[in-house]
Amino acid sequence: MQVAPLTALMLLGTIAGACAAPECLVPTGEYLPTQLPYTYVLDRRSPFDQTFLDRYQEGIPSLIETGTLTPGHPYFGPTCDLAALRAGRPEKGIAEFVEDYRSRREQAPEAIRRLHEAGADRVITYICMMTTGGDPERRTGFWRFYDNWEAFEEFNIPAKPEEDPENWQQRKPDGSPYIAYRREHPPYAPIFRWTNCINNPSWRTYQRWVTEEAARIGVDGFFVDNAGTMHCHCKYCQAKFADRLRSRYTEQEIQELFDGDLSMAPEGDRNSDLRKAEVKLFHQESIHELLSDIRQWGAAIHGEFFVFPNGLHRRAHFVTTRFRDTDLAMDENSSGELGGNPGASSAHIIAGLHIKGVNDNILTYKYAAGTGARCRGNVLAYAGHPNSDPEGLGAGYNTAVLAMAEPAAFGGGGCYAPVGGAQDLERAIALMNDFFDANRGLLAGKYPFGRVGVLGFVLPDYFNDATAYAATGQVLKLLMRAHILADIIPERVFTPDWIARWPALVVPHVRIMSDSQLQALVDYAKAGGKLVLLGSEIATRDQLGRERPAEEIQPLLEAASASHGLDFSACVREGGPLHGLALCDREVAPEARFAAYVDHPDRPTELILHAVNYDVQLGTAHGEVGEVENLGLSVPLPPGTAAASATLKAPGDRDISLTVECKADRASLTIPMLHIYGIVHIRLTGVGQ
């Protein structure tokens, strides 16, 4: 199919103010190309300790997160001694706390400078999006700070909010406080943590001061924890929600779709699916607004301010909504026996028989790369938390190298966060730092070049339909296993011009889509694209959740190349619509996975193929690598191009020139040895010349 110029990308989902209901309820935007991947370590030790850097003699991460840079505790404020409270001892006086704050504030710039001079590009620290801790009756923790707010006037603190912090809390629809934490949570007893509303002006006043203070001492940004806990129905949220509906719908539509009621949770039948979806999207945008403000507050003082929220939680699609304009988003992946460490594991079947499986984080990274927003993905990898087994399932040196390769290959940038005693981590960091730096030109500024696009629509999730997201992950996993180059296409970049870049599209159980999105798929198929529908209910509802008449869906069904129920695997088998797209037979390298990018979507001059070998045995006591020898590949090329040359680049190895032979629209080449990670740089002739 012909690729339209990038400049012709127009947004199907542009919101037209209050002149009509949104064509797309979730945010849309132009695709931003890949970024340079980097290394990252979460190290909550005190950076004021002179021995802090001793751990990083072999290699220091580009991004380092420390836990104690800010002068005050992120939950309890700068006037709390939790150890004293837990032991029943009297706390220090306010004057002593102020002096401690002043001293820490003076020491922080030097600690940050040492980390920068050692090679860290960014030094960030921890805050929480919505948490305070303390006892409002005993006036301990954050309440003691609030009662002595004026004692910090010398540190640019704004005027004290009139509302007591007990009134800053998120509220349920009935007005009672929404508390996200158990009050007897052991690490913090006898005081407990509260859940503030991020739209509350008083809480935002405090957050702004904390951000500006961090920027003043030289902190490069924040790791923002719990950046998904927003379920508030307080008076501030209600007012903003009503304004949001007025900006998205006409008065007539508000009457027809919402019975003229702008409240967040009305009683009875008026609490429709659309209203519930809009409430969820409102909470997403509230998070997006606060994170954007944190960046702006910090950047006004520091010049730039890195914002890194935690809150994907196995829902990678949040990168398209609440986190889209942050720098990085964490998927704290600790579920299951294996957790988030990538690699190979063996499951015992019967005596003497084991089956090998692959643990990967490709979905998390692919959503970020497919969304094409500022934000990229990060995986915090536990091994079977809380019952972890680092020796058997944790991250050794080779696992760490593999985990750092994942965001580079599949995420278009981003990073990995090792946890649980990764051995020789600093040596792995040094290796990948050198590789990323040496190949900047091949890693940043690129566009996805999959042969199959998988519609990763996120709107169904806000209508309590999780099947589309689950099916997206299942389809992607199958395509990766089949060695077919595939990318995710969420609503953010879904336009007729953009989807035309993929010779085949898969629509996995997407029940909810707009009329124009449906028509774009029909037009795509009529123009020669292979359209594969997965599931029995495709496009059965419009973007507002209304049932769509069967006759309006029929053109899509007729245009499709294939329709399947739950068995998508038939599509890649012989005779299926996606058969013949693989780089190689699966049996040749069953644990290998691939991704590809080009330097320009219309006029490519180079193709970059990433090859990742997941045959790395998990566990700090293991780490053996099943290397792949003489891996023959048939690489698809952009239309109208030919491969002029190919070079293999791998971490720690010298570049190897590969023999390449062009056959029709493919380039045949052989990778002599794939250890863990390699990039094949193919220079093109033809269209882009």
Kindly compute the dihedral angle of the four CA atoms of residues 46, 52, 55, 56, in this order, to the nearest 10 degrees: 110
Alpha-carbon span 663 to 316, nearest angstrom: 38
Tokens matching residue 606? 């180079």
Q: How far apart are the first and last CA of the chain?
A: 20
509: left (phi over 0), alpha (psi -120 to 50) or beta: left
Angle at 58 between CA 53 and CA 60, to 5 degrees: 55
Tokens matching residue 545? 């959740």
CB contact burial 340-358 (16+ within 10 A = b; e otherwise): bbbbbbeeeeeeeeeeeeb
pLDDT (0 to 100) of residue 3: 38
Alpha-carbon span 593 to 484, nearest angstrom: 9
pLDDT (0 to 100) of residue 350: 57
For residues 293 and 306, is the Cβ–Cβ distance under 8 A? no
Alpha-carbon span 145 to 210, nearest angstrom: 13
For residues 312 and 584, is the Cβ–Cβ distance under 8 A? no
Question: If DSSP codes are grouped into helix, strand and coil, which group holds residue 240?
Answer: helix
For residues 635 and 596, is the Cβ–Cβ distance under 8 A? yes
What's the chain's length in residues? Answer: 689
Distances in whole angstroms, Cα of residue 413 to Cα of each of 12, 40, 227, 495: 26, 12, 21, 23
CB atoms within 10 A of CB 208: 16
**What is the β-pairing status of strands 592-598 and 447-448?**
antiparallel
* Domains, the chain: 6-30+452-571 (3.40.50.880), 62-310 (no CATH), 591-686 (2.60.40.1180)
Tokens matching residue 364? 């998390």
Angle at 372 between CA 459 and CA 405, to 5 degrees: 115
H helix intervals, 25-93: 82-87
> How much of the chain is in helix, strand and coil states, percent to nearest 5?
35, 25, 45
Kindly compute the dihedral angle of the four CA atoms of residues 561, 564, 568, 572, in this order, to the nearest 10 degrees: -30
Residue among 253, 399, 375 nearest 321 (CA): 375
Can the peptide bond before residue 190 be classed as cis, meaning omega within 30 degrees of 0? yes
Name the residue with tokens 């600790």. Answer: 334
Residue among 497, 415, 509 nearest 467 (CA): 509
Averaged pLDDT in 10-residue chunks for the chain of 689 residues:
36 41 93 97 89 90 89 89 90 96 95 96 96 93 97 97 97 94 76 94 97 97 96 98 97 95 86 94 98 98 97 93 97 76 72 70 96 96 67 82 96 85 82 97 98 98 95 96 98 98 97 97 97 94 97 96 80 91 94 97 97 91 91 97 97 98 95 98 84
Question: If DSSP codes are grouped into helix, strand and coil, which group holds residue 345?
Answer: strand
Alpha-carbon span 265 to 268, nearest angstrom: 9
pLDDT (0 to 100) of residue 9: 32
Alpha-carbon span 263 to 501, nearest angstrom: 42
pLDDT (0 to 100) of residue 423: 66
Alpha-carbon span 395 to 402, nearest angstrom: 10
For residues 359 and 479, is the Cβ–Cβ distance under 8 A? no
Listed in sequence order, the residues at least 6 apart from 483 whose beta carbon sits closer than 8 Å to its beta carbon are 582, 583, 584, 585, 586, 589, 592, 593, 594
For residues 122 and 221, is the Cβ–Cβ distance under 8 A? yes
CB contact burial 126-165 (16+ within 10 A = b; e otherwise): bbbbbbbbbbbeeebbbbbbbebbebbeebebeebbeeeb
Alpha-carbon span 383 to 420, nearest angstrom: 7
Residue among 379, 389, 399, 421 nearest 55 (CA): 421
Element (H, E) at 686: strand 677-686
Query: What number of CA atoms fall less than 13 Å from residue 356's CA on the CB side?
Result: 12
For residues 277 and 541, is the Cβ–Cβ distance under 8 A? no
